[in-house]
Every structure is written in C-alpha cells, then in structure tokens.
Amino acid sequence: MKRWTILLLVLAMTAAACGGTDPADTTASAGGVGSDTTMAEATGIDACAPGETDGDLNFYNWAEYIDPDLITAFETESGISVEYTEYESNEQMLAQVEAGAAPYDLVVPSDYMVDTMLAEGLLVKLNKSALSNLGNLDPAFVNLPFDPTSDYSVPYQWGTTGIGINTATLGDVDPSWDLIFNPAVADQYEGRISMLDDPLEAMVAALHYLGYTLEEVIADNNLDAIAEAEAVLTEANARVAKYDSVNFGDDLVNGEVDIAHGWSGGFFFSFAEVDNPDDYAYIIPKEGGVRWVDNLAIPVTVEHPCSALAMIDFLLDAENGAQLTNWNYYGSPNQASEEFILPEILDDPAIYPTGDALENLEFIPQTGELGLELQDAFLRSKG
C-alpha cells in the first residue's frame, strides 16, 4: 500500500467539485454503454446471486498481496479461471482503469484512491445481496470516511506505516522518528537509511516527528507546518541511501540498509524469508503515523460483475480471510477470521497495534488544495 501521485488526486477533486456528481448517480461511459444507463444496470450486477459467476475473472491487485493457493481454491470452487495481474501503485491501477486498457473486473484501491475513483465515477455500486459473508467484517471497518455507506468497496487488508530496523546493528532503540530525522540520533546511520518514495507518506512522517498531524495541517491550511516538514526531509536527505516503495523490506534483510521506512506487512513478509528473523524488527513510531486500508472494488471496466462479487464473498469467508493474513502479515478487517489467524500474528502489537500506538495513527485524508504543496515540498527535499 500507499503510493501517491497527488496531481491526479487534485484533478479528481477539482472534477468532482465542478461536476457535483453523486457517485450513486454516475452513468456508464465505458464499453459503449449509453449515458442514460446507470453502471449497475449496464453491468447487470444487481441480478447476481451469491456465489454466481458469469465468466473468467480479471483480477488486478498489488504485487505479492494474495496467497496463490487462495486463487487456486477459488478457481476450484467456482469452476472459472482467474487472470491475476499485478501493479505497484494506486496511480498505475488508476491510469489503467481510466484508459480502459483492460477489462478488469476487480481492483484493490487504497482508502484515498477509493475516494478518488468515486469522484471520477470509476467504481460500480456493489450488490450487497450477493455478498453472503459481508457480516463477517469488523464493524470498525464499515462505513469508513472514504466510502461512508460502504456501497462501493469492501475492506481487504489494513496496516500501518513505520520503520523496519536491523536490531543486530542498532540494538534496543527508542521507537521514534528520531531514527530518521533527528541528527543527534540518525547521523550515525548516514547512508544506511531508506525512505518510501512516496510524497504523502514522507510528509506525514516528518509532520508527526514535528508534532503535527496531516489532518490538522489540511484543516488549518498550515503552510508553515509544510515548510517545517520540508526542512526536516531536506536535512534528512543527506543520510538517505535510497527512496524505494517496493524493495524496502528486502533491502533491510539483505543488508543494504539498517533503517527503512515502509509498510508493516512488507517488512514481515521479508523477515519470514530469512534464517535470522530475530535480527529485524518493525516499529510504529511513538509520535504516530499512517494507518491505511486497502479495499476490494469493482471498476467500470468490469465485464464479469458476478464473478467479481463471488471472489469478494470468497475472500470474506472467515477461513479464507485468515489465510490471507497468515500469508501476507497484514491486519484483517474480517472479524470472523480472528479465530483462524495465527496467534503470533494476532497478538503482535506491531501488526495489530492497540492503545496509544493505534490512537496516534491517522488515515490520510483528502489533501484538497494542499495536495500539490505537499508533493512539491517532498520533491524539493530530495534535491
């Protein structure tokens, strides 16, 4: 997760503001469907029954984000084939859907991207009557801010953004953004630090280090706070060996860096692949940071809506939801899955934070007019 091109977000917000279109009233414009026909009517999604399929599924998802055995099990159970294609950023997925480049039936946008795709009329309203397992969701993951009625998305996995460390090198450390941003602490690790190549993730990290939240900065239109965060990132740039949003976990366990900014499950996935996992740890900085949710959604490119709903319902099954988390080490929004999730995952506060660690995390809100300011600040900080 997490992977931004702010310009697209701002353009989407502008288009929504100008058009004033309610997503529920969005009309179909893809695949030759007439403008007087709603997407639900055009796709036939309202006629789908639980477990019904209507052709092979074209599933577009993040890289390394689902247990291949789940794909095989769904194919066996449904009798259809799954064409599984991977992407590395929300923006890559968005561009493909916008262009109608392929007939994707199911995509996995992050929280903010659901909001963006709704503003652009790119998602089809779900037929909830076809989702027999919808009640398995934890109530905390229903009616989230980016989809207030839960009509267009179903939570898939959730996680946090923090810091992976080589404990064999660093030893016991204070769980703080000081490891990256405080010269008194971080200078000793110059050239051994990586950061996500992600404007908002980097800016949020710097803002929390300074005692701000992004939500407050946006609400107050606080350009001074953005300038402060840019200065922190600029100073840290001299210590950063690389900016990477794909290989951060592997870079840590391969010894390329000792401190890495990244997403929770990406680190745990890499730790599980080495012989010495105890030499590494993932920490959530005490100052707080980002909590995010990735979601299953049906785009306007859909050709097989019933098959898409069948896959969503399959993944909402309690045991299947647990298998997903046991494989990729991200938190499950599926409350019914908890009895099947490995105890070492469910009880790990780095995967399932509680108390202050959870309270200090924020969902990234829509950035509005400050979107480009935040992006430009990050780009300038990298030189």
What domains appear along the chain, each with residue ranges and CATH number? 6-153+297-316 (3.40.190.10), 159-291+358-381 (3.40.190.10)
DSSP letter at 95 equals H
- For 334-369, write each residue's pLDDT tens digit: 999 999 999 999 999 999 999 999 999 998 887 878
**Whether residue 35 has pLDDT greater than 80:** no
Cα gap 211→206, rounded to integer Å: 9
Global confidence as pTM: 0.79
**Whether residue 244 has pLDDT greater than 50:** yes
Cβ–Cβ < 8 Å for 301, 30: yes
Average per-residue pLDDT in the chain? Answer: 89
Cα gap 86→82, rounded to integer Å: 13
Q: Which DSSP string corresponds to 66-81?
A: S-HHHHHHHHHHHS--
- Give residue 63's pLDDT band: very low, low, confident or very high (50, 70, 90): confident
- CA 255-258-259 angle, 5° bins: 135
Cα gap 43→312, rounded to integer Å: 17
